[in-house]
Each structure stands twice: as C-alpha cells, then as structure tokens.
C-alpha cells in the first residue's frame, strides 16, 4: 500500500500574516460596501473563517457553495455540478468568492459564470493558493494568498481522502 508523508510548505504564522494582508486589501477596495463572502465547501471553511474575522467588518455576510467535478480521462474534459447552492440574494451586491486553491481554474470559471446569473454588482475571487502548473483556463484572481507551482497540498481545510483538513499549516503530500 502507498504511504504518504507530509512536508510543511506554509506555516500557520505565514498563513496568519497573509490572511491579515488579504483582509487589508479587501477593506481597502471594498471597506465602505456591504460584502458577501462565498466559501467553496469543504476546502475553504477554515480560510473563510479566518478571513472574515480578520475583516472585522459589521456588514459582511457569509454563504457557501459546494460543487462536485467529474473528470473524464479519455476526453480530459470535466463536468462540474452544484451540490449545494448559495442561499443569500446576490443582486446588486459586492461578492467575493473565497477559494482554498485554484488548480486548473475550471471550478472558478464555472462558479463565476454561475454567480453572475444572480446579477451581483461585482464578483471577485480570493484564493489562498494559486497553483499554476495545471491551469487550463485563465481566471481572474484578484486576491491571491500564495503562489505554488505544483504538488498536492493538504491542511488548513484541504484534504487528501478527507484526511488532514484540521492541520493548521499547509503541507505537500509526498507519496512513497
């Protein structure tokens, strides 16, 4: 059986400083407006929880969306379906989609198209990790935490077969 080892990539204190930096950028751009933060489940739950507390803003609202993707290796295409939709009305609102990690970009592209159907004033993306190597589609990420070239990452909400979400840092999975 394959065993995995974990290598620390981003420490909890580096995450904490980055989260405050991101919150400052968001407040700078949208401090005067009502904000709706939409977290993608399950991976962004810890990031969203920290970000929203760093924002320390009265008129901030939280919602979640969950998607499932089916990859087809023979066609290298992907089908994405929503398994939990947003519940707050978004019309005319400033919305920030909070993502754990952007990899191919397909999920963010799909979600941006979906959110735009709800006629928000503006939708921006805030991602803790922008993982570049496998990007298939260009997506705008206005607020980026860390840029990573490649690797499968876990911790701080990210899982490997539902394990490791609770870890306070981000680790790379090394398979042996």
By the criterion CB under 6 A, which residues form the site for ligand 5GP?
40, 43, 99-107, 131, 152-154, 158-160
Smallest separation (angstroms) from ligand 5GP to the CB of 163: 10
Closest approach, Cβ 33 to ligand 5GP, in A, equals 26
Closer residue to ligand 5GP, CB minimum distance, 27 or 41: 41
| Nearest distance from C-beta of residue 115 to ligand 5GP, angstroms | 15
Of the two residues 118 and 135, which places its CB atom closer to ligand 5GP in the complex?
135
Q: What is the 3-state secondary structure (H, E, C) of the chain?
A: CCCEEEEEEECHHHHHHHHHHHHHHHHHHHCCCCEEEEEEECCCHHHHHHHHHHHCCCCEEEEEEEEEEEEECCCCEEEEEEEECCCCCCCCCEEEEEEEEECCCHHHHHHHHHHHCCCCCEEEEEEEEEECCCCCCCCCCCEEEEEECCCCEEECCECECCECCCCCCEEEEEEC
In the set 59, 103, 130, 159, the catalytic residue is: 103
Is 103 annotated as catalytic? yes
Among residues 11 and 24, whose Cβ is nearest to ligand 5GP? 11
Q: Hey, which residues are catalytic here?
A: 103
């Amino acid at each position: 059986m394959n065993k995995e080892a974990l290598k620390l990539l981003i420490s909890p204190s580096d995450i904490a400083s980055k989260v405050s930096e991101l919150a400052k950028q968001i407040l700078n751009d949208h401090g005067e407006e009502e904000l709706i933060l939409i977290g993608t489940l399950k991976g962004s739950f810890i990031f969203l929880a920290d970000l929203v507390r760093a924002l320390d803003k009265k008129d901030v609202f939280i919602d979640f969306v969950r998607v499932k993707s089916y990859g087809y290796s023979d066609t290298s295409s992907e089908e994405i379906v929503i398994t939990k939709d947003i519940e707050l009305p978004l019309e005319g609102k400033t919305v920030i989609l909070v993502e754990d990690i952007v990899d191919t970009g397909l999920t963010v592209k799909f979600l941006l198209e979906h959110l735009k159907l709800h006629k928000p004033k503006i939708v921006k993306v805030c991602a803790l990790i922008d993982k570049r190597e496998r990007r298939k589609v260009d997506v705008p990420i206005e607020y980026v935490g860390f840029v990573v070239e490649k690797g499968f990452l876990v911790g701080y909400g990210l899982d490997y077969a539902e394990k490791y979400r609770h870890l306070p840092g981000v680790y790379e999975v090394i398979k042996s």
